[in-house]
Amino acid sequence: MATPTVVLVHGAFADASSFRTLIPELLADGIPVVAPANPNRSLSGDAAYIASVVRQIEGDVILVGHSYGGAVITVAGVEDNVRALVYLAGYALQEGESLGELQGGFPDSPLATALVQGNYPLPDGTTGVELSVDPAKVHDVFAQDLDTETTKVIAVSQRPLAAVAFGEPASAAAWKTKPSWGIVSTSDHSINPDVERFGYQRAGATTVEIDSSHVVMLSHPKESADIIREAIRATER
């Protein structure tokens, strides 16, 4: 049977380069990889875009989401050729639940006071609000286990998240019909690790915990690749 394609979906305040240390691990095993640009404009729109990417891939897909990307794969993962979901310090939403609702049940992380607002134009001529991380706080709240030179690059190359994405409910929860795996970053300063644990437990995900910052795929690429490999092996057909 052909090896499934791993589709890596980045989260808020990041881009596909956030997988740059993970991708070589997968490619070295002969695993096909696609790392699309997640628009970070709305949960429904982002999920629709990722679903369109998935539909154009021949064969099975392992859908991997980091952070907000976890919410996106939760919705997009209902596509027929998605074999499994893998969450990397991500949000595993329930159908009808928003990011704000899930986070609201737990104490805030340090990220809550590190966000800054910006504006962007909407098609109707009005202005939307987007959020990014204060560049001076990126190291401490986003990637404290990376070197400062790397976090300086992350700080100035953020892909902001539209504020509307926090309040938009998930239209589906693919984990109800697809097996899932998840990494809890136990030293996460962006998402309360208990938010990750709760979502994974509710989804019935096979879970591992790693002492990592929020960007576990950057600081622990081997361990992140291992859980993806496990998902591939466990769903082989």
**How many structural domains compose the chain?**
1
Closest-CA residue to 155 (of 215, 100, 196, 109): 215
Mean pLDDT of 23-31: 98
Is 135 within a domain? no
Which tens digits make up the pLDDT trace of 71-120? 999 999 999 999 999 999 999 999 999 999 999 999 999 999 999 999 99
What is the residue-wise DSSP string for the chain?
-PPPEEEEE--TT--GGGGTTTHHHHHHTT--EE------S-HHHHHHHHHHHHHTSSS-EEEEEETHHHHHHHHHTTSTTEEEEEEES---PPTT--HHHHHHTSPPPGGGGTEEEEEEE-TTS-EEEEEEE-GGGHHHHH-TTS-HHHHHHHHHS---EEGGGGTPPPS--GGGTS-EEEEEETT-SSS-HHHHHHHHHHHT-EEEEE---S-HHHH-HHHHHHHHHHHHHHT--
For 86, the domain range is 5-108+164-234
Is 82 within a domain? yes
| Paired tokens of 70 | 């976890």
Is 104 within a domain? yes
Q: Band of the pLDDT at 206, cuts 50, 70, 90?
A: very high
Mean pLDDT of 211-223: 98
Q: Give the span between the Cα atoms of 129 and 146, in whole angstroms.
A: 29
Q: Band of the pLDDT at 237, cuts 50, 70, 90?
A: confident
> Is the distance from CB of 14 to CB of 40 less than 8 angstroms?
no
- The pLDDT of residue 51 is above 90: yes
pLDDT at 64: 99
Which tens digits make up the pLDDT trace of 122-152? 999 999 999 999 999 999 999 999 999 999 9
- The pLDDT of residue 1 is above 90: no
Is 140 within a domain? no
Is 210 within a domain? yes
pLDDT at 194: 98
Average pLDDT, the chain: 97
- The pLDDT of residue 224 is above 90: yes
Q: Band of the pLDDT at 199, cuts 50, 70, 90?
A: very high
> Is the distance from CB of 115 to CB of 132 less than 8 angstroms?
yes
Which tens digits make up the pLDDT trace of 165-195? 999 999 999 999 999 999 999 999 999 999 9
Mean pLDDT of 28-48: 98
Is 126 within a domain? no
Is 128 within a domain? no
Task: Supply the CATH number for residue 191's domain.
Answer: 3.40.50.1820
Q: Band of the pLDDT at 2, cuts 50, 70, 90?
A: confident
Is 127 within a domain? no
